Structure 1
Amino acid sequence: MTALWWQTCVIYQIYPRSFQDSNDDGIGDLKGIAQRLDYLVGLGVEAIWISPIYPSPMVDFGYDVADYCDIDPCFGNLADFDDLLMQAHRRGLKILLDFVPNHTSDQHPWFVESRAAKDNQKRDWYIWRDAAADGGPPNNWISDFGGSAWQWDEITGQYYYHAFLKEQPDLNWRHPDVQAAMFDVMRFWFDRGVDGFRIDVLWHMLKAADFPDNPPNPDYRLGMGEMHRLLQRHSTDQPEVHGIAAAMRDIADSYGARGLGERVLIGEIYLPVDRLMHYYGRERPGVHLPFNFQLIDMPWDARTLAAAITFYEAALPVAGWPNWVLGNHDRPRVATRLGQAQARVASVLLLTLRGTPTLYYGDELGLSDVMIEPSQVRDPRELREPGLALGRDPVRTPMPWDGSDNAGFSAARPWLPLHADWRTRNVARMTEDPRSILTLYRRLLALRRDCPALSIGDFALVNIEDEILVYERRHESERLVVALNLGGRPHRLQLPDWARGSRLLLSTHEDTALAEHGALLLRSHEAVVLAAG
């Protein structure tokens, strides 16, 4: 195959408030990211996805956008962004922005106009409905942050819809002027040189036109969060959304067609695999990569992983390219979910499966979720439903660069606390340690670059045995074996005939035993990559 850059690259997600502070206000910024580009090059990633940096009241830390075509002052300005983009491109790094098309801030000029009067020309840019017969909300839809998804507006005597916070009113994507305005936003950033977008909550963007009640969730139980009390059958994943995705794809593809560089669209979609596949496109191409979050949620055992990988690969459309994600700014970190030993094994899985991997900042250091005291909570998700462990602050804490005060992140007190072991678990210290997980990630990323089988090769399961998962990656004459021990005891694994005599390319244990009489000896919590022949 002739692979495109977004098929062979590794994407690194940066939460900008927490990556590097350059002006000592305790909040990360664009100049801070620019200061750390050489670290990213040395790590071995090829693309950076930056969470929202647009002007915002920061009620939801940037996911409440007040202006789609500017930079929030806490992060810098457009000149700082242009400089970051130039410096990244000079180093061969691509830049992806977070695009938040489902909703705006209630302080966005569009919404200010929309709520001014019922006959305002932008009234229908948002979703307004009369009260129900009893005076309550128009239907039973629940916000993802808990409570009704409808907010009463005293000014005009109607409810407006918000899938998230009341300060985040949903746009009406059935309105052609909304589509035109948002497509212009994409062009604004593409024309500036941005290489792609991660599209926030893509499956939320269209709602059922007649707004029926959502049905109850038969599997709901206390502690899941109120949003799960109902199935989002009518408020998400509507068939018309695929036409919107196709129109976005047309815009992105037009830049490559004009010789201006291939652009990529990645859709945030939390849906079962069979429904996820539709976002690759139906009659027309959809987004290039509908995010595949299975590794974040599934039980960590060999048979479950093997079944999920096989099902996902089989479900892909002919032209569909796979992708895998281990962590992001919304979900518990991999080291918290699996422990430090299996976080190393998980790194091998992420970077040796077929498809484009996304790495969340700090996971290469084995960062765990940070304990946030009640007085330190910043996330509105936790503030609205406290005590359910739904808050996202624990995974958004500052990146530790060294053992100096505030871990080299800032001279000021960081906006969120550092993890407890930051004086040893930091970039400078772990760079010097040949056994650190950071060193492992660097070796894995280098191996991925050196071996076409890992970036564009075929995938085939070889063996599932108790706690062991083994698969082959193959490209032309290059054949690699990846073997993962997902448990805490050693295993002796019989290799297929073609893999006997393989040489070790990488192990999560430096002093591992190798093949013995045609068998592979895997120590506890060990993953290896072997080259056949």
Structure 2
Amino acid sequence: MTSEWWRTAAIYQIYPRSFADSNGDGMGDLAGITSRLASLQELGIDAIWISPFYTSPQKDAGYDVADYCDIDPLFGTLADFDALVAEAHARQLRVIVDLVPNHSSDAHPWFQAALASAPGSPERARYLFREGRGPEGNEPPNNWESVFGGPAWTRLTEADGTPGQWYLHLFDSSQPDFDWTNEEVREEFRRILRFWLDREVDGFRVDVAHGMIKADGLPDFTPPIDGGSMGGGAEDPEVAAPYWGQNGVHEIYRDWRKLLDEYPGERVLAAEAWVDPLPRVANWVRPDEMHQAFNFAYLETPWNAHALREVIDESIAAFHGVGAPSTWVLSNHDVVRHATRLSVTAVNPQGHGLGPRSLGLPEYAPGLRRARAATALMLALPGSAYLYQGEELGLPEVIDLPDDARQDPTWFRTNGERYGRDGCRVPLPWEADAHAFGFGPAGTPWLPQPETWGLLARDAQREDPTSTLSMYRALLTLRRERQLGSGSLTWVAGYPESVVAFRNESVIVVANTGDTAIELPAARVLLASAPVDGTTLEPNTTVWLEA
């Protein structure tokens, strides 16, 4: 395992409830992950990032944590977790776990103690309780909206039955926000970090890493109508939401970095920070703060050569300017899968999701072709890359989930106006002919799988040299062999405006985002996202050439 491994790593996100089910209860679990690690080692990734598996009422798929230092029975036990880490390390795979510090579950003992305590008590001081506005405090303390829709405040009924204080929840009402100005909160999270570091985790992906600190006075704020639900799109910090990207978060991460640096083996912090523009994101990865920040600007860039060249230049300049690696990502558990998203022709803000009534829905084959080309472009870029489970199988967004199967809080809090994120979270297909396509030995998966997913199952793709899985394996192998992660990018001129062309180490990458074929230079084809004849490059195709 190399020094500063995180600078060049290919990191694979596991959404545990949808990855692999070992006991047939319809829910993926830790033992299921362990049983499938050989497939991930074969894929060629360097690390896994596991979304939350902590004790939770599962109101928001585990991002509502009731106990940060134990495993929810849905997913197994601490012994199962230790076995997973040991097996991953034996296979030279590092393990990053999700940490959710902005809010807890309302079932967390601290919040239950706050409910049982009086206004102004130390128990309530751990969260953001406030008196209401208007006559008798009947109005919320401010006008903030929840990420999931509806008001970001809920009023308590006090122990004597009278209406009481309000508490802040930027997400669901079951997810009260911590008050990070309280030193007791900070010390508790130091304890939590040490608990998992002592269990040999290699780092933390920090959920809502641009949250936690709220502006003094909690001023009113109305977000732009077309802005992303997590804050992306507000490029002027002066008019950004008073609950995203406040300067005080950096003090927290400097503190955490010192703690991680006490441990051997290069433990890392990766930020989920939906802030714009890119130079602001770089503030999260200054040398004494976090190691990586997700590049959501890249994820949200359309399949357009000019836009891609611009975001790549901006990314490299911003991250390298503070000595951090650029990161690249196309899909995760919060966004429409890129096999669908890159071909949607209507506006679809992050977090809204797709369903049968959505506009601009693409056909699968053209969407997959574009997604394969986008992946081949991304994995040739210098820095670290993130992959989301199932993208290596070419899985599309599942659009036609029945209404009664949907579970995302967004669906309920908007009364079905937004479909939410269930479509990218459907359990994976492993074996075409097995029960639930190999997801589990029995039972009904927690979200229904499309009948057509047998065609995309891992075993159906494994020996097919033209499959998306085979393309991912080849890309990751060449990426490592040619040391592209630690390379540097030089643009190659002479191509049409619709083409992205660059050199990284010994590889020339040419991606055609346009509508017409282009001529290729005479060079050996190393790999391509779709068939090439060596002389022309068809639309929506990326090729790697020997430099």
User: What is the CA-CA distance between 1:363 and the residue it aligns to?
Assistant: 0.4
User: What is the CA-CA distance between 1:389 and the residue it aligns to?
Assistant: 3.7
1:398-437 to 2 correspondence within 5 Å?
A: 398-403=427-432, 404-410=434-440, 411-437=442-468
1:11 and 1:173, CA in 2 relative to 1: closer, same or farther beyond 3 A?
A: same
**Aligned residue number for residue 74 of structure 1:** 74
User: What is the CA-CA distance between 1:232 and the residue it aligns to?
Assistant: 5.0
User: What is the CA-CA distance between 1:225 and the residue it aligns to?
Assistant: 7.1
1:101-500 to 2 correspondence within 5 Å?
A: 101-118=101-118, 120-134=121-135, 135=137, 136-155=139-158, 157-214=164-221, 216-217=222-223, 219-220=224-225, 232-255=240-263, 260-272=264-276, 273-281=278-286, 285-316=288-319, 317-338=321-342, 339-370=367-398, 371-403=400-432, 404-410=434-440, 411-452=442-483, 454-463=484-493, 465-474=496-505, 479-493=506-520
1:365 and 1:488, CA in 2 relative to 1: closer, same or farther beyond 3 A?
A: farther
Unaligned runs of 5+ in 2: 343-366
Contact 2:299 2:328 in 1 (8 A): no
Amino acid aligned to 1:526: T
User: What is the CA-CA distance between 1:514 and the residue it aligns to?
Assistant: 2.3
Q: Is 1:32 aligned to residue 47 of structure 2?
A: no
Unaligned runs of 5+ in 1: 496-500, 516-520
1:389 and 1:212, CA in 2 relative to 1: closer, same or farther beyond 3 A?
A: closer
Distance 1:473 1:439 in 2: 22
Decide which of 522, 528, 531 is 2:543's aligned counterpart. Answer: 528
1:308 and 1:185, CA in 2 relative to 1: closer, same or farther beyond 3 A?
A: same
SS in structure 1 of the partner of residue 68 of structure 2: coil
Distance 1:310 1:471 in 2: 12
1:120 and 1:7, CA in 2 relative to 1: closer, same or farther beyond 3 A?
A: same
Note the alpha carbon deviations across 1:282-341, whole angstroms, 9 max, x for none.
Answer: xx6211111101233222110110011112212222412110110000100011123011
Distance 1:187 1:225 in 2: 32
Contact 1:124 1:172 in 2 (8 A): yes
Note the alpha carbon deviations across 1:138-171, whole angstroms, 9 max, x for none.
Answer: 1111111112111111126211111101110001
**Aligned residue number for residue 518 of structure 1:** none
User: What is the CA-CA distance between 1:21 and the residue it aligns to?
Assistant: 0.4
**Aligned residue number for residue 498 of structure 1:** none
User: What is the CA-CA distance between 1:399 and the residue it aligns to?
Assistant: 0.6
Q: Could you tell which deviates more after superposition, 268-277 or 434-443?
A: 268-277
User: What is the CA-CA distance between 1:227 and the residue it aligns to?
Assistant: 8.9
Contact 1:333 1:363 in 2 (8 A): yes
Identity %: 43
TM-score in terms of structure 1 length: 0.91
Q: Could you tell which deviates more after superposition, 383-392 or 433-442?
A: 383-392
How many residue pairs align between the two structures?
Answer: 505
Q: Could you tell which deviates more after superposition, 129-138 or 79-88?
A: 129-138
User: What is the CA-CA distance between 1:224 and the residue it aligns to?
Assistant: 7.7
Contact 2:285 2:322 in 1 (8 A): no
1:14-33 to 2 correspondence within 5 Å?
A: 14-33=14-33
Question: Aligned Cα RMSD in Å?
Answer: 2.0
**Aligned residue number for residue 85 of structure 1:** 85
Distance 2:289 2:417 in 1: 36
